[in-house]
Amino acid sequence: MTPAPDPNRPDPRLQDEARCFEILDQPELWPEDPARQAELADLLELHLALRSHGPALAADLAPAPRTRWTGSWTLAAAAVLLVALIPAVATLQRTRSLQALARDTARLEQLAQKRTQDRAWIAFFQQSTTLLQDFEQNPTLCKKGEEDRRQEREMAVALLEASHQLAAQGAPLKEAEAIRATLHTWLSEVAFEDNCLSVERAKELRQWAAAHNLETQAERMERRLRGEDA
């Protein structure tokens, strides 16, 4: 025959809950059991949210705070506590929703930033290809023995500035950075030349670009960044 419960003996479940509240601010006393730690973490979050409503709850729960829960809790007292916890739970849920929204917003911003950076790299390789092709064409002459490369030089100056910016922000691919660095060297040579180049100097620049296969590499990297080439 099961003995009748002793009314003077504290409920062990309430004692256990009281112990949880006592060690909330003492992480070194938390049990090693992961499941128990998770329960304590949830309880701590609720406790902190409840504390944020301290003044309002103090008015509703007139009795002075107690350091230990005992078996003297009545059903009515438990109901009062449940009603008092509702705003805190709502606040906790809203806080978690806002945190999730902040994470999603940050992720979308990162994706948008990456797309912007990828477009800048694509434009750099595309325009570099165009410049290399233009440099292969026969331009008008400043005078006999000198090629008018004013337009090509202006474009090289602009691309050189873009190259500096791309180097600072980082490349989407390691190979893209290597090709940018090679193009940067060639662009520097063109940008620091005079508008009118001697035929011999223009030939040297074309040969240097061909020896490093710059046009083909720039075209291939542009396609790869567009997702058109594996």
Whole-model pTM: value is 0.56
Which one-letter amino acid corresponds to residue 196? C
- pLDDT of residue 226 exceeding 60, the answer is yes
Q: How far apart are CA 194 and CA 128, in angstroms?
A: 19
Rounded to whole angstroms, the Cα distance separating 211 from 79 reads: 84
- For the record, the structure tokens of 126 come out as 């595309």
Q: Give residue 161's pLDDT.
A: 95
The answer for 213, left when phi > 0, alpha when psi is -120 to 50, beta otherwise, is left
**Residues 156, 195: contact at Cβ < 8 Å?**
no
Residues 6+ apart with CB under 8 A from 172: 114, 117, 118, 121, 225
Q: What is the pLDDT of residues 124-151, one digit of tens each?
A: 999 999 999 999 998 999 988 999 999 9
pLDDT in tens, 71-130: 444 555 555 555 555 666 566 677 777 777 777 677 766 667 788 888 999 999 999 999
Q: What is the largest CA-CA distance in the chain?
A: 121
Per-residue pLDDT at 31 exceeds 90 = no
**Pseudo-torsion of CA 132, 136, 137, 140, nearest 10°?**
90
Residue carrying structure tokens 């490349």: 171
How far lies 158's CA from each of 24, 115, 121, 213, in Å? 61, 22, 14, 21
* Separation CA 221–CA 126 (nearest Å): 9
